[in-house]
Structure 1
Amino acid sequence: MRAHVYKSTRKANTYVYLAARDGGEALPEALRSQLGPLTFVLETELTPQRKLARESTEEVMANLAGHGFHLQMPMTVPHDPLTSDWGTDA
């Protein structure tokens, strides 16, 4: 399955996989307006054997087949308790 990957110009580290090149019409209007203009990044062939860095290939392929797009959001970093203010004066 071919995937066309675009990045959001408005949301950092947010990518959209599209089933069709320039297939932004597959995106819901509310999502399209939040992402802003999309910049083409790459075109790739997805197979169950291919590994993606941050996404499940099977999930991406299922979303492309079912919805025409897959949204990759930025990774969340767990809260580090050592950076919190513990309320001490020391």
Structure 2
Amino acid sequence: MKKGIHPDYHKVVFQDSVTGYKFLSGSTKTSAETIDWEDGNSYPLIRVEISCDSHPFYTGRQKFTQADGRVDRFNKKYGFANK
């Protein structure tokens, strides 16, 4: 294999944006945001839209119901204030 062409593989924490579920896994992705994990180390934090904790295929049911619109969900998710 050629040297220097493969990305760095390291541990990161993925967090489900909907349920808050977090898990530690290996990835080549990186993030400027970090989180302190249960083992006392600090890892990059990557927020994901859906994970095994919130996907209906894995859970067998919907875990949440949304009554508000798309714009309201976006603003609430990313912390924008109502104007």
Q: Per the shorter chain, which TM-score range?
A: under 0.3
Larger Rg: 1
TM-score by length of 2: 0.21
TM-score by length of 1: 0.20
Counting helix residues as a fraction of each chain, which structure ranks higher?
A: 1
Between 1 and 2, higher relative CO (CA 8 Å, sep ≥ 6) is seen in 1
